Amino acid sequence: MVVTTYRPLPQELSDIQQEMEQHALDYGLDFFKTIFEVLDYEELSMFAAYGGFPVRYPHWRFGAQYDELMKGYSYGLQKIYEMVINTDPCYAYLLSANDITDQKLVIAHVYGHCDFFKNNAWFSQTNRKMLDQMANHATRMNRHIDNYGYEVVETFIDTCLSLESLIDPYAPHIRRTQKTETREETKKRTDEENESTGGRFPAKYYMDRYINPEDVLEEEANQKRQKARELSDQLKFPKERMRDVLYFLIQYAPLEDWQRDVLTIIRDEACYFAPQGQTKIMNEGWASFWHSTIMTRHGLTDEGLINYADHHSGTMATSPNRLNPYKLGIELLKDIEERWNKGQFGPEYENCTDMYQKEHWDQDLGLGREKIFEVRRIHNDITFIDTFLTPEFCYKQKMFSFAFNDSNKTYEIQSREFQQIKQQLLSSLSNHGRPVIYVQDANYKNRGELYLEHEYLGVELKLDYAQDTLANLHTIWKRPVNIETVVDDRPTILSYDGKKHSTNSKEKT
């Protein structure tokens, strides 16, 4: 389904856009051209269900998400004020029901997002033409549906979507190992090795048949081929563990061409959206920082003040049982700006033991604005929290860590100690709170079985989820699948052979 909604902005909104854009530029924001469209809530919900894009491949989950969004709005449980996508140019959508003050806030907020998309290092490798790519994906999916039937393709999409988190979000930025051979490269190299004729001694042409007898050369070549095959069977594959499970399956799983294409589409889209999960706190904090700066200094009128205060405070509201990325992001950016303006950093400040002097430390350096632009450019949420979260900030924001109490079956405050707060926050942000899985061996026990490894960091896998995932991996790999993990604090191997699940203790080596 394609959602077509383009219509020019009303003159009043067009004037507001130009005003907000100029304010953003004056503050040093740098963004791609931004195109705004006004949608009603039904249209905006369609775009939201599609991840902000006007066209996606057909699948039931988009309808389910649309239904959830519409019901939430109808029951007064939620409201989408705006949406913006990371493309060049950027496309942003405004809700037609917003009043003028809200539209100003939203437009200023969007320009903060667009600046972040363009300049943050973690978005630098994303496809800026993803609008066209999504349409291309939809066309390819529809072609497969025409050729193989909707139910067959939909079932396979379901399988692939259950594995979409098994990617390496850092792959666009680093090379972990030497490049892994593709299936085609491996076949070409093997063929070349098999064509080798063995060891021929140099000789004059008239002596060649005596020095290099054909039957001896043939026998030697056969022995080399046999030895190479035996050695190949013994070699571990891949040579080093791989985090990008989907890429490995695309390259080596015994799939039909259309299935490989579907899996490639799912992986491409997962990689596109990955930086948004990696920078949720920073991205929303940055956009909120600039909408509050622009609105309070330039955008507010007397009649819009109360409405702005109400909606901004609602966006920043924090409750004891959830983390608000908008609030944490904006407050930490403000804290960084204040600290670098006052010189509250570096060895001299860190080594100061006079608490009164430290509290009133102000060298009037004025480096805050420059510093937050630097932070925006190079950090993601994990490095942002790890580098700039301080005990003073946690105390000021009344932060705490929590845990489940088995005795009364409730979550409760576990600690207000800085290190525990920081560790729990970083753990929740690592890989978006999902398990990190590696391909360890694709020829486990020399039987072509897939052997995965769960990087255990103190949180065990949910067994029902793990078993369903193993079953879906078996659908793609078509051989037994195993995963090494920890169950009840004991090293364990979970397996699925296509018929039944099994759990075995890992043997000590």
- The string of DSSP codes covering 469-493 is HHHHHHHHH-S-EEEEEEETTEEEE
- The DSSP secondary-structure symbol of 340 reads H
Helices and strands (H, E) in the chain, number of each type: 21, 10
Handedness of CA 40, 18, 125, 243 (dihedral sign): negative
Amino acid at the residue 259: Q
Residue 197: the pLDDT is 44
pLDDT digits (tens, 9 = 90+) for 348-359: 888 888 888 888
pLDDT digits (tens, 9 = 90+) for 155-173: 999 999 999 999 999 888 8
Answer whether residue 508 shows pLDDT above 60.
no
Question: Given pLDDT bands bounded at 50, 70 and 90, which one contains residue 105?
Answer: very high
Beta strand pairing call for 449-454 and 437-444: antiparallel
Q: Give the pTM.
A: 0.83
- Tell me how crowded residue 465 is: count the other CB atoms within 10 A of its CB: 11
Answer whether residue 509 shows pLDDT above 50.
no
Q: How far is CA 269 from CA 135, 161, 261, 264, 392, in A?
A: 12, 10, 12, 9, 40
> Where are the alpha helices (H) located in 295-324, listed in sequence order?
305-316
Residue 407: the pLDDT is 67
pLDDT digits (tens, 9 = 90+) for 254-272: 999 999 999 999 999 999 9
Contact 472, 267 (CB under 8 A): no
Question: Given pLDDT bands bounded at 50, 70 and 90, which one contains residue 247?
Answer: very high
pLDDT digits (tens, 9 = 90+) for 16-44: 999 999 999 999 999 999 999 999 889 99
Contact 85, 105 (CB under 8 A): no
239 by Cβ neighbours in 10 Å (0-12 / 13-18 / 19+) ranks as exposed
